[in-house]
Amino acid sequence: MKRVFLETYGCQMNVADSELMAGVLERGGIELVDSAEAADAVLLNTCAIREHAEQRVLGRLGDFARIKRTTNPRLVVGVAGCMAQHLRAKLLDHARVLDLVVGPDGYRDLPELLRRAAGEPVTQVRLDRDETYGDLEPRRGGGVRAWVTVQRGCDKFCTYCVVPYTRGRERSLPLDDLVRQMRHAVAQGYRELVLLGQTVNSWRDGEHDFADLLRAADAVEGVARVRFTSPHPSDFSDRVIAAMAECERVMPQVHLPLQSASNRVLEAMSRTYTIEAYDALVRRLRAAIPGLALSTDLIAGFPGETDAEFGETLAYLRQVRWDSAFLFKYSARPDTKAFRIPETLTEDEKTARLERLIDAQHRISGEIHDGWIGREAEVLIEGRGRKEERQLFGKSAEFKTVILPDDGSAPGDLRRVRIVGATPITLFGEPVDAPRPGPLVSIAG
Ligand code: SAM
Ligand code: SF4
């Protein structure tokens, strides 16, 4: 077992988990390669949040079955992550293709599991209330942004969501481990730290709370920017708002999932807050942090959602004016409580509701972006445009993608630009400052 091809599906947490796995594999003497054809084993890091995500992975297993049949019968095929945990029994039906099924708490022993799986099928899906991987250094990917997992699992048990079942109970990594990891990432050249957790603002390690963690991240020498995702509205304390307002490097941006603006639906989802409480929190955040950019997650078509209840969500979307939103159609997930609530809408009806949310949000994002024209923004340069060679792209403090002419700035540089054009997705800027020397250390990757 010398070469592994690792493919990642799903959320940022999975990207961070793949970096953790990459670190474990490298320390175990295993090289990461970039195709299944060049590998002794393939490992899919999977997502179970919606049915569609699972179907993509099952389709991909068909590709590997073909490689096994035709060119490399000894190829070890593994499924890791949320789907491994969620579908362990069903996945074993694919036993002719699959050699390894490993859940989110089994990554510490990955080299050993892969070696064993070359001989006989292996399943490791035990959830571990204590595993945080806090002592393990991830092998981070390229770019200017380091994803730092500060918390694993989730205790909220929203009735539609499979995460507490696939990732287990909430666990926070200790502050000392996190400060060490963050310093290391910045010393490697990463300019931005993004703290990750399913309810990241409920992070606590016995002595410290999330406000302390934000202040510790802000104090890491050499860091340019700090962000976090996703906070839960019920865990947003005034201490955290004060830390955001006071810490210069904590960016004025919050992704604050709402899911629905109907109190009856929120209750049926077990979200633990009302729309009035969410709105009061938005007001507190906007008052404390001038220029704050806000985004959200919404689910269209939760079982039993009436036309009027959907209308409440659409009306609130227009009222609160998020900068952007991730909009989802409800997907029934086995094991969750909502799975037992009969669905009341057809797929087409759910799609129609989703499309109304998308249209309304698109218009608002466009209006907000048009309002940026003529204003200045600070952009952290990430790289060259994919389509247009002579363009650079990066993110503003508000986490908006900004495209600017290539004037030789390097990834990791901070540039001031004047916004001269906008679409609902992107801003276009012209530099207003002279290029500065890049960071003192080279960019990782
Ligand atoms: N922990 C985060 C939170 O609660 O804000 C989000 C975790 S989840 C990976 C991201 C989003 O997926 C959720 O905020 C929700 O909008 C959506 N989601 C989760 N379960 C879903 C389901 N069964 N159907 C549709 N969307 C779902
Ligand atoms: Fe899922 Fe709710 Fe936990 Fe988010 S807070 S991961 S939606 S159970």
Give the residue, out of 11, 151, 163, with the most ligand 2 atoms within 8 A of its beta carbon, to mutate for a pocket test. Answer: 163
φ/ψ of 395, rounded to 5, equals -115, 145
- Site residues for ligand 2, CB cut-off 6 Å: 154, 156-158, 161, 163-164, 198-199, 232
Separation of CA 219 and ligand 2 centre (Å): 29
Separation of CA 298 and ligand 2 centre (Å): 13
Residue nearest to ligand 1 atom 11, measured at CA? 297
Separation of CA 317 and ligand 2 centre (Å): 21
**DSSP letter string, 54-99:** HHHHHHHHHHHHHHHHHT-TT-EEEEEEHHHHHTHHHHGGGTTT-S
* Helices and strands: H and E segment counts in the chain: 13, 19
Give the residue, out of 158, 202, 203, 297, with the most ligand 1 atoms within 8 A of its beta carbon, to mutate for a pocket test. Answer: 297
Q: What angle do CA 271, 171, 108 make, to 5 degrees?
A: 130
Nearest ligand 1 atom to alpha carbon 298: 16
Q: What angle do CA 247, 252, 253 make, to 5 degrees?
A: 130
pLDDT at position 90, please?
78
Separation of CA 25 and ligand 1 centre (Å): 30
Nearest ligand 2 atom to alpha carbon 164: 8
Q: And the tokens for 83?
A: 């789907």
Q: How far apart are CA 27 and CA 5, in angstroms?
A: 16
Separation of CA 327 and ligand 1 centre (Å): 10
Q: How far apart are CA 344 and CA 334, in angstroms?
A: 17
Residue type, 298: L
Residue nearest to ligand 1 atom 22, measured at CA? 331
pLDDT at position 292, please?
98
Separation of CA 270 and ligand 2 centre (Å): 10
Over the Cα atoms of the chain, what is R_g?
22
Nearest ligand 1 atom to alpha carbon 10: 9
Mean pLDDT of successive 10-residue stretches along the chain, which has 445 residues: 95 95 97 95 95 90 91 94 85 78 96 95 93 95 95 98 96 97 97 98 97 98 98 98 98 98 98 98 98 98 98 98 98 96 97 98 98 98 84 97 94 97 97 68 44
Separation of CA 100 and ligand 1 centre (Å): 27
Q: Which residue has the tokens 């999975």?
A: 14
Secondary structure string (H, E, C) spanning 163-225: HHHHHCCCEECCHHHHHHHHHHHHHCCCCEEEEECCCHHHCECCCCEHHHHHHHHHCCCCCCE
Spell out the alpha helix ranges (H) of 289-346.
307-320
Residue nearest to ligand 2 atom 2, measured at CA? 158
DSSP character at residue 41: E
pTM: 0.95
Nearest ligand 1 atom to alpha carbon 13: 9
Contact 30, 4 (CB under 8 A): yes
pLDDT at position 445, please?
38
What is the number of other CB atoms lying within 10 angstroms of the CB of residue 66?
A: 11
pLDDT at position 87, please?
83
Contact 415, 381 (CB under 8 A): yes
Q: Which ligand is nearest to the CA of 11?
A: 1
| Closest to 316 (Cα-Cα) out of 272, 351, 255, 360 | 360
Nearest ligand 1 atom to alpha carbon 329: 25
Q: Which ligand is nearest to the CA of 326?
A: 1
Q: How far apart are CA 222 and CA 216, in angstroms?
A: 13
- Site residues for ligand 1, CB cut-off 6 Å: 11, 49-50, 160-161, 163, 198-199, 230, 232, 257, 259, 297, 299, 328, 330-331, 333
Separation of CA 158 and ligand 2 centre (Å): 6
- Element (H or E) spanning 123, and its range? strand 122-124
**How far is the CA of 224 from the CAs of 15, 59, 146, 233, 247, in angstroms?**
22, 41, 12, 26, 12
DSSP character at residue 397: T
Separation of CA 49 and ligand 1 centre (Å): 7
Q: Which ligand is nearest to the CA of 330?
A: 1
Q: How far apart are CA 441 and CA 186, in angstroms?
A: 9
pLDDT at position 437, please?
54
- The order of strands in the sheet holding 3-8 is 31-33, 3-8, 41-46, 76-81, 100-102, 122-124
pLDDT at position 440, please?
45
- Please classify residue 398 by burial: count the beta carbons closer than 10 Å to its beta carbon, then call 0-12 exposed, 13-18 middle and 19+ buried: buried
Separation of CA 162 and ligand 1 centre (Å): 9
Q: What angle do CA 277, 278, 280 make, to 5 degrees?
A: 65
Q: Which ligand is nearest to the CA of 341?
A: 1
